[in-house]
Copies of this chain bind each other. A is one copy, B any other.
Amino acid sequence: MRPSAEERSHEEPHNSPQPPSTSAKKYLPTGFFSGYPTRLTAHRGERRPGSDQGDVQNVARARQVRAEITRQAILDGAAVAFDLGGFEGTSLSDVVRNAGVTKGALYFHFPSKEALARTLMDEQLLIAERVPATDDPGLQTVIDLSHQMAHGLRTDVRIRAGIRLVIEFGSFTHPDPTPYDAWIDTCRTCLTPAQQRGDIHPSLDIQDLSTLLVGAFTGIQVTSHVRTRRQDLHTRVTDLWNFLLPTIVPPQRIALFHPTGTPGTIPITSAH
């Protein structure tokens, strides 16, 4: 039996809480949301006036809310530091200074720089939440995911830090295939029904295609970052789809797909 949230906050302060169940994401692979941050709304309860138990519960809730605010501040501070300096170039002192918390608070939530890095590396997988068409996954879902990730990289320091850490820390310093495998699983989970309904040539190997997409996207965003500070990232991602779609999709279906992402789903300001 799993301990309650309160018990866990004392016994396992360093583990990420489990994700809330979201039926719209049921097609996503197990473990996909392992890094899901606690939401402040997760333990909303009713106040019972005059009840000692209610007061105790409220104090406990207030403490939990404060702890979560601290935890998020630490992750924000860490994201700024990792985005700037990478894993090796960041110290816990940088994080404490950026976050405006004590070293004790930092250690209560994260036992090490590695634990912080792993939480941010997991968080980038949350981008999948921002894609609307998740109840009926298909090829366009993957196209939209790639543009949402591009948008996240351009606008969200936590996404940027997560990807830098995945590439540096998770590929070289402490090689860990988990983030790559999770994205490949997500692609396969979307592309398998796409192939079943005839949007993808029946002869194509979906696992190979998913592996190619994740590998290609990884490098395309690196080169866009270094060459243009990601100014051309949406254009480069659109190129990837324009070059791949004629091989992937039967000719009579190709007009159904938007290589630039489903219109209206990506904020227009970022669609360079």
Contacts and interface: CB of A to CB of B under 8 A. Distances in A.
Contacts of A168: 86, 167-168, 172
Contact of A240 (B180, B212, B217): B212
Contacts of A223: 171, 180, 211, 214-215, 218
B88 A225 contact: no
Contacts of A87: 88
Number of copies of chain A assembled together: 2
A210 B262 CA distance: 26
Interface in A136-182: 164, 167-168, 170-173, 175-177, 180-181
A216 interface: yes
A220 B222 CA distance: 12
User: Looking at chain A's contact residues, is the secondary structure mostly helix, strand, loop, or mixed?
Assistant: helix
A51 to B, nearest CB: 54
Interface stretch (A11-19, A92-100, A241-249): A241-249
Contact of A227 (B180, B208, B220): B180
A224 interface: yes
B215 A215 contact: no
Given A173-B86, A226-B170, A212 B220 contact: yes
Given A243-B209, A243-B244, A181 B227 contact: yes
A212 B226 contact: no
Contacts of A219: 214-222
Interface residues of A, number: 44
Contacts of A244: 243-244, 247
A33 B249 CA distance: 41
A44 B214 CA distance: 50
A234 to B, nearest CB: 13
25 contacts: A86-B172, A88-B88, A167-B168, A167-B172, A171-B223, A172-B225, A175-B225, A175-B229, A177-B226, A177-B227, A212-B236, A212-B239, A212-B240, A215-B216, A215-B219, A215-B222, A215-B223, A216-B216, A216-B219, A216-B220, A216-B240, A219-B220, A244-B247, A246-B246, A247-B247
The 5 A-B pairs of least Cβ separation, nearest first, read: A219-B219, A88-B88, A218-B219, A215-B220, A216-B216
Interface of A: 85-89, 164, 167-168, 170-173, 175-177, 180-181, 208-209, 211-212, 214-227, 229, 236, 239-240, 243-244, 246-248
